[in-house]
Homo-oligomer: A and B are copies of this chain.
């Protein structure tokens, strides 16, 4: 027995196998031997004690040692030589001991949204029992088509239900075949960026605008040209040269104005003349409290405009379902773009959402939430007018899920980012309007989401906000 063998035997003898541990003894022994080999404590070529000897040394059954040795033979840590016993494999490269394990991270528990987090619907109002019934019905005895190779564009009955919804609510008349389901607006923008444009192509976007959309375009290598926005919405620059334009005509994000008809027609006309694509992001038009909505741009030109929608704000962000309504000519390019990444939208919620829409329960829910959100906007405006009349000025907004407030005389010298920071310290979420501009140099204002919160929570948050703001800026 050479010194390597002696050392190994000593080390094995000192192994602390734990009979009380949940892992069986043979597994503990396997792991201990593996670590000795990996760390170099058991050197390549060292002969192991016979299994009987090992069992005696460790006071375990021979079966335990045989199982451990077999496993390590199978894994290649050990090798046998005919009639000569078991050895640590010779051709193993030496592996330095792994770094000390880092402290264990604890999982982040989901936290409830706090006022005035914008854009999230009130999930407590979600019709959970109805929804669970649709899920159960769809999956208990699923239709054979649900078990087939899924259409990458999504579950066909859901696509038809979305088409029917858009015809009824938005005056957009298109067959379900032109609806593509995605996991949300950001994936839609990524797919469109790859299917419609080539890296380096120029695309016009509104400034301010929706950040995740801009970064999806940038990731696809597109050159972004920013369009200024005035009180009517995006201004198409004279002689604009671009392969496409992305707009929020129904309700500018985050400013809230509606693009007037003349600008809509000019946009379509420009797109036709220059052979450019128009991408219309229609993210919360269903929540309109007063006045008649304009039909979407897509209703003006079926072959030039791509309509982008999502269920995140209308129903629940947990669904991760969005969609695009595509011109005929784009069906094949988008199928190709989807084939490259594979679909991301889960099929699990799709048949349930389809029957939820077909049954009329979706429309009922939207009407109910529209009434509720309209009331909440009024509550928030009244609370602001009472508690902070010289600090935050909010005009009534005919639609949407958030209010845009301008700083009043008491806050005129205070940057909106500073106001947002003070609110954050008091546990209140305010978004600074200036931060929606590329370099943070936009006009001053604050975005207050109200849709997701009970009237009492809105009023309490306004009072808390009034306390901290008035303490600093009376």
Contacts and interface: CB of A to CB of B under 8 A. Distances in A.
B105 A328 contact: yes
A446 interface: no
Contact of A117 (B76, B112, B149): B149
Contact of A261 (B89, B216, B272): B89
A291 B109 CA distance: 40
Contacts of A349: 346, 348-349
Contacts of A328: 101-103, 105
A197 to B, nearest CB: 14
Contact of A300 (B38, B74, B184, B343): B38
Contacts of A9: none
Nearest to A75: B294
A139 interface: yes
A124 interface: yes
Interface stretch (A127-135, A377-385, A411-419, A454-462): A127-135
A187 B64 CA distance: 43
Interface string A141-166: 11011111111010010011000000
Given A94-B269, A140-B128, A344 B183 contact: yes
Contacts of A83: none
Q: How large is the interface on A (under 10, 10 to 19, 20 to 34, 35 or more residues)?
A: 35 or more
A156 B212 contact: no
A243 interface: no
A25 to B, nearest CB: 16
Contact of A148 (B113, B320, B329): B113
Given A104-B177, A346-B345, A262 B128 contact: no
A111 B148 contact: yes
A110 to B, nearest CB: 4
A96 interface: yes
A106 B344 contact: no
Contact of A177 (B101, B107, B272, B344): B107
A344 B102 contact: no
Contacts of A300: 38, 95, 98
B128 A132 contact: no
A135 B38 CA distance: 44
A389 interface: no
Contacts of A149: 110-113, 117, 120
B108 A153 contact: yes
B150 A110 contact: yes
B135 A95 contact: no
Contacts of A344: 183-184, 187, 320, 344
Contacts of A128: 139-142
A341 B216 contact: yes
A266 interface: yes
B107 A151 contact: yes
A266 B184 contact: no
A219 to B, nearest CB: 8
A200 interface: no
Interface string A241-283: 0000000000000000000111001101100100000000000
Q: Which of A92, A96, A303, A344 has the most CB of B within 10 A?
A: A344
Contacts of A131: 139
Contact of A295 (B75, B96, B183, B329): B75
Contact of A268 (B95, B187, B265, B340): B95
A186 interface: yes
Q: Which of A145, A187, A341 has the most CB of B within 10 A?
A: A341
A176 B320 contact: no
25 contacts: A74-B291, A93-B266, A94-B269, A98-B300, A98-B301, A102-B303, A102-B328, A108-B153, A109-B151, A109-B156, A112-B147, A112-B148, A112-B149, A128-B139, A128-B140, A128-B141, A128-B142, A147-B318, A150-B318, A183-B345, A187-B344, A318-B348, A319-B346, A320-B345, A344-B344
Given A133-B136, A212-B340, A318-B346, 5 more contacts: A76-B294, A107-B159, A107-B175, A108-B177, A128-B142
**The 3 residue pairs across chains A and B that have the minimum distance between CB atoms:** A76-B261, A318-B347, A346-B346
